[in-house]
């Protein structure tokens, strides 16, 4: 997701089981009520994962880099990825979706991680003009 790398755009890329692409300004809807429960991790929380409940099947809609509409239907891992990345664009980390007991354990493990409390990386902005393109 763009915000994870300091880019203030509502876009994410994905590469799951041979299916890859990107979505700009995405939304998603579940297909049916079936859920999945399994391990989930995140680049924002390196080296740690916990079981998280997600919808098993989703359809996501957005646009490609040319402004053309894109629809992606995913199940299992792709559905989890779509939900996870759109959560990032909405300012939600997957630990916010954990059940209370698991979230409490997750927060303790995060605080105990070697990287916890390390200085926040500095995001540098290009000194070159962008000529109206995304920053």
- DSSP letter, residue 91: T
pLDDT tier, 33 (very low <50, low <70, confident <90, very high otherwise): very high
pLDDT at 22: 95
**73: annotated active-site residue:** no
Q: How far apart are CA 97 and CA 38, in angstroms?
A: 12
For the segment 45-86, what is each residue's pLDDT rounded down to a tens digit? 999 999 999 999 999 999 999 999 999 999 999 999 999 999
Q: Which of 34, 85, 101, 109 is catalytic?
A: 85
Q: How far apart are CA 113 and CA 47, in angstroms?
A: 9
For the segment 96-130, what is each residue's pLDDT rounded down to a tens digit? 999 999 999 999 999 999 999 998 777 677 777 76
């Amino acid at each position: 997701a763009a915000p994870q790398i300091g880019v203030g755009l509502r876009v994410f890329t994905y590469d799951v089981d041979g299916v890859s692409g990107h979505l700009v300004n995405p939304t998603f809807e579940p297909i049916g009520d079936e859920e999945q429960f399994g391990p989930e991790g995140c680049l924002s929380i390196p080296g740690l994962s916990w079981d998280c409940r997600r919808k098993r099947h989703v359809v996501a809609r957005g646009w490609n880099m040319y402004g053309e509409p894109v629809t992606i239907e995913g199940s299992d891992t792709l559905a989890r990825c779509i939900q996870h990345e759109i959560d990032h664009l909405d300012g939600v980390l997957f630990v916010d979706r954990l059940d209370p007991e698991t979230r409490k354990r997750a927060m303790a493990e995060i605080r105990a991680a070697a990287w916890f409390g390390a200085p926040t990386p500095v995001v540098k902005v290009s000194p070159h003009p962008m000529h109206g393109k995304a920053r």
